[in-house]
Structure 1
């Protein structure tokens, strides 16, 4: 089972879908990466050799955007900064309420449930 940017690639799944499991890479970006690395649209994780896996990982790391743990860290730092500045969005994050103006009277059940189960 190959690892690319800290994410395991299952051997039985289609490679394009497996690469899209990497945090920060969507389906269209994974199609582009697999095509550049020389994999077909029906390639599976079992077709990835060590050399081809390294080539795919190098192509993914050459993208200008952060991926994987770097992207998670960047997003969490942004949220922590908003909370530290006590902005409106930061307070909504702290309280576990919807951040982007959604209503809370009838919707936002998932966000509210996560708030109460986190404590």
Structure 2
């Protein structure tokens, strides 16, 4: 099972969908990466050799945006900063309520807490 940017690629799943599981890469970006790496639209994870996997990883890392754990860390740092400077959005994050103006009268009483909940 190959790993690309810390994400395992299942052998029996379509490669385009598997690459889209990398945090920060969507389906359209995944299609572009797989096409540049020389994979067809129906190729699977078992078709990834070590050299082609490295090529795919290098293409993904060439994207000028943070991906994977770096992107998660960046987003968590932004939320932690909002909580630290006591903004309204930071207090909403801390309480586990919707942050972007959604209603709470009937929905969102139990917003799922993230694994890296900022307290």
TM superposition score category, shorter chain reference:
over 0.9
Match of 1:8 in 2: 8
Report the more deviating stretch, 92-101 or 102-111: 102-111
Match of 1:107 in 2: 107
CA distance in 2, matches of 1:59, 1:32: 10
Match of 2:20 in 1: 20
CA distance in 1, matches of 2:74, 2:113: 22
TM-score by length of 1: 0.93
Q: By percentage of residues, which structure has more helix? A: 1
CA RMSD of aligned residues (A): 1.4
Secondary structure of 1:21's partner?
A: coil
Structure 1 unaligned residues grouped into runs of 5+: none
CA distance in 1, matches of 2:10, 2:47: 11
Instruction: Return closer, same or farther for 1:114/1:69 CA change in 2, 3 Å cut-off.
Output: closer
1:9-65 CA-to-partner distances (Å, cap 9, x unmatched) read 000000000000000000000000000000000000000000000000000000011
Tell me if the contact between 2:98 and 2:108 (Cα under 8 Å) persists in the aligned partners: yes
Match of 1:79 in 2: 79
**Shift in Å, 1:109:** 3.8
CA distance in 2, matches of 1:30, 1:114: 28
Match of 1:31 in 2: 31
Match of 1:51 in 2: 51
Secondary structure of 1:67's partner?
A: coil
**Shift in Å, 1:114:** 3.9
Match of 1:65 in 2: 65
